[in-house]
Amino acid sequence: MTNKTKDYLSKVRNKTGFSDYKISQKYSINQSNLSKYKSGKAALSETHAWLFANILNINPAEVVAHTKLEHAKITGSKSKTIFWKEQLEKLANNSKSIKIDIAQINPIVGDLDGNTQKIIKLTKEAHIRGCDLLVFPELSLIGYPPEDLLLREEFIQQVQDKVTLISQTISEDISIIFGAPSKKNDVLYNGAYLVQNSKLWVYHKQNLPNYGVFDEKRYFEPGHKAFIFECQGKRIGLVICEDAWTPKIISTTANQGAQIIISINASPFQVGKHSQRIEQIKQRVLTTKTNFIYVNMVGAQDELVFDGASFVMNSNADITLQLPLFKEKIQSVSFTSPTTLPDTDPIEKTIYNALVLATKDYIEKNGVFNGVVMGLSGGIDSALTLAIAADAIGTRNIKAIMMFYEYTSSMSLEDAKIQATAMNIDYHEISIHTIVDSFNTQLNILFNGMKADTTEENLQARIRGTLLMAISNKLGKIVLTTSNKSEMAVGYATLYGDMSGGFAPLKDVSKTLVYQLAKYRNTLSTIIPKRVIDRAPSAELTPNQIDQDSLPPYDELDAILELFIEQRYSVERIIKQGFNEQTVKRIIQMVLNNEYKRRQSAPGPKISQNAFGKERRYPITSKFQP
C-alpha cells in the first residue's frame, strides 16, 4: 500500500525546506502526531490534510480522500475503504481531460512578423481542432540564437509589441506557451510566455548555459522561481531547456504540485545528442513521477542545426510520443501507452539529413541567393557537396563548374561529367591553362630563380576560387566550399582559393565520414561514381599527386584529430594511444599553425561535439604547446 501521509509529508519538507521540528512549530502540529505521520502509524487528520494541500497547491479533496482511505486501511474498516475508493474514482472521473499539442516549428531569427503570424495561424488551427494548450519551442518568437540582436533596444521593444499582439489576437478558449525575451525593470530574461484567457504570464529561465555554442549569460539574467499554472484542472509546471538538465529545478517544480512538466527547448543537433536528452529526462521523471513534455525547435541557423525530435514521456518513464527529426510537425500529446519507436536510423542518414537541412535553411532563410554555384572536381568532397546541395534546394538551382588544368586527370573530367549528367545538373567546363600561364608570366619577374613550390599549386586553387566568385556575383548564386574538417584542421585547403565561398556543408565532417556519407547517399540513388569513392584522394595540383604524399592515411589522421580537437587530449596522451610520436606532433602543429585560416573560413553546420567556429574558439596568436 502506498503511504500517502508519508508521501505528502515528504513533499511538504521538500517544498518548504523545513525540518519536521520546524513544520511542527510553523503549522502548529503536535510533535506526537507528526511522529506517527512520519512512521506510517497514522494517516493525516482532515485538518492537516487540508493544510498540506494548501501548502502543496493541490486539490484538498484529493488529499483528504487519499488520507481517509489510508486511515480506513490502517483501522481495517472495509466499508470505509470501499467508500473512499469510490470517492477517489469520482474525483478522477470528474477531473477534466486536457488536449495538449506540440508545435515543433522552424522559426527564422529576427523575423518577428513571420514568426508571429506562424504562431497565430497555428494557434487558430489548433483551436479549431479543440486543443486546450499549444506549446511552441524556446525563443520561438525570435528564433535561436538571436545573439547581439538582444542588445538592441528597438528589437526588444518590437518583441514586446508582438507578444502583446499575440495575447490580444488568439481566442480565450485556448492557452499557448511560446518563448521570447522578457524585460522587467531593465533586466532581460529568457522567457516562456503563457497566454491564457487573454492574459499574459511569464516564466524566467533559471539555468543559463554558457558553454560550447551557448553564451546566454552575455544577454540574460537567470530567474529564480518555479512556475506552475492550471489548465483544464491540471497543474502544469513550465521550464526552459537547460532547466530540465538540472535536477533541483525539476524537483522543485514537481514538489509544488505539478502533474505535468513542460520543457520548451532550442537544443541543437550533434551526434548522440537525442539519446542524451532522453536519458536526462528519464532521470527527472523517475525522480519526480510526473508526466513530461519536451518540445524542441527544428531548423538551421548559421552553424547550428536544430533536429526537433520532440517527445513525451509518462510518469513511468515510457516514451508515449516521438516526433520526427529535421521536420516541422504539430501533434497531440498522449500519456496513456508507450509508443513503438521506429528503428534507429543509421548515423550516416541522420548526419546527411542534418547537412541537407542546414544547407537548405542557410540559402533560403537568407533570401539573398537564387541558387548554388560550386566547383566539381571529380573528387569525393565536391561530389558529396553537390549531392547535399541538390537534395537541399533542387537540381534546377545549381550550376557546377569543372575548372581543369594540365594536372587534372581524364578520370576526374569523366567522373565530374558523369555525376552532373546523372543528377541533371547544369554543368560547364572551363580551362584555366591560359589564366595560370598569364599569372605565372607576371610573377616570374618577382620569382626569378626560385623553385616552384606550393605557391604555384595554390595559384591554381585561387584562380578557381576567383572564377567561382565571379559567377556568383553575376548570377546571384552562393558558392559552396567543399573542404572537410580534416583538411580544415591541418590547413590542407587554400585561403582565397578552394576556401572561397559563403557556406561549407562539410566543415565539421571528417574525411573518413565523407566517404561513409557518399556511400549512404548512393543507397538512395546512385549519383556519385564508384571510382570517385574508390580512388585515392588528390588535389591534382602537381603531377601524380595524392593527399597521402603529405598527410598520413585519413583513418589515422582523423583518429588523431578526433582525440585532439573533440576529446581535447594532450599530445602525450594521444601518443600513449599507440600513435607515432613524430606523426602526432607534426599533425598537432599543423592544427595550431592554421588557426588563422579557419578564422577566415565560411560557416558550416555543427554535427560533432566540438566544431570549428562558434564552438571551438582558439587564439590565432599563441605560444601554447599542448
Q: Which of 344, 375, 390 is the last residue of a domain?
A: 344
DSSP string, 447-478: HTTPPP-HHHHHHHHHHHHHHHHHHHHHHT-E
Determine if residue 111 is labeled as part of a ligand binding site: no
**Residue 11 region, left (φ>0) first, then alpha (ψ -120 to 50), else beta?**
alpha
Are residues 410 and 508 part of one domain?
A: yes
Lowest-pLDDT range, 25-39, 144-158, 278-292, 537-551?
537-551
Residue from 4, 11, 68, 205 carrying the catalytic annotation: 205
Are residues 416 and 314 part of one domain?
A: no
Are residues 184 and 45 part of one domain?
A: no
> Is 578 a member of any domain?
no
Residue from 68, 131, 241, 457 carrying the catalytic annotation: 241
Are residues 269 and 219 part of one domain?
A: yes
pLDDT tens digits along 328-364: 999 999 888 777 776 678 899 999 999 999 999 999 9
Q: What is the pLDDT of residue 99?
A: 94
What is the CATH classification number for the domain harbouring 52?
Answer: 1.10.260
pLDDT over 60 at 462, yes or no: yes
pLDDT tier at 400, thresholds 50, 70, 90: very high
> Is 475 a member of any domain?
yes
Are residues 295 and 167 part of one domain?
A: yes
Determine if residue 487 is labeled as part of a ligand binding site: yes
Are residues 324 and 358 part of one domain?
A: no
What is the CATH classification number for the domain harbouring 447?
Answer: 3.40.50.620
Q: Which of 508, 526, 547 is the last residue of a domain?
A: 547
pLDDT over 80 at 420, yes or no: yes
Span 104-120, mean pLDDT? Answer: 97
Are residues 168 and 131 part of one domain?
A: yes
CA gap 561, 49 in Å, rounded: 62
Are residues 158 and 70 part of one domain?
A: no
> Is 584 a member of any domain?
no
How many domains does the chain divide into?
A: 3
pLDDT tens digits along 571-612: 999 999 999 999 999 999 999 999 999 999 999 999 999 999
CA gap 59, 259 in Å, rounded: 12
> Is 376 a member of any domain?
yes
pLDDT over 80 at 541, yes or no: no
Are residues 366 and 323 part of one domain?
A: no
Determine if residue 40 is labeled as part of a ligand binding site: no
Could you count the other beta carbons within 10 Å of the beta carbon of residue 582?
A: 9
Are residues 380 and 506 part of one domain?
A: yes
CA gap 607, 354 in Å, rounded: 8
Determine if residue 211 is labeled as part of a ligand binding site: yes
> Is 542 a member of any domain?
yes
Active site residue 231: no
pLDDT tier at 57, thresholds 50, 70, 90: low
Give the β-pairing of 228-231 and 234-240: antiparallel
**Could you tell me which residue, 384 or 14, shows the higher pLDDT?**
384
Determine if residue 273 is labeled as part of a ligand binding site: yes
Residue 444 belongs to domain spanning: 350-547
Active site residue 205: yes
Active site residue 184: no
Most confident by average pLDDT, 35-39, 41-45, 273-277? 273-277
Please give the helix or strand (H or E) that residue 264 lies within, else none.
Answer: strand 260-265
pLDDT over 60 at 37, yes or no: yes
pLDDT over 70 at 1, yes or no: no
Are residues 406 and 340 part of one domain?
A: no
Residue from 11, 15, 138, 417 carrying the catalytic annotation: 138
Residue ranges of E strands in 354-463: 372-375, 398-404, 426-431
Span 116-124, mean pLDDT? Answer: 97
> Is 613 a member of any domain?
no
Q: What is the pLDDT of residue 74?
A: 83
Determine if residue 80 is labeled as part of a ligand binding site: no
CA gap 95, 104 in Å, rounded: 28
Are residues 497 and 364 part of one domain?
A: yes
> Is 555 a member of any domain?
no
C-alpha cell at 127: 483551436
Half-sphere exposure of 491 (CA within 13 A, CB side): 15
Q: Which of 94, 114, 145 is the last residue of a domain?
A: 94
> Is 600 a member of any domain?
no
What is the CATH classification number for the domain harbouring 114?
Answer: 3.60.110.10
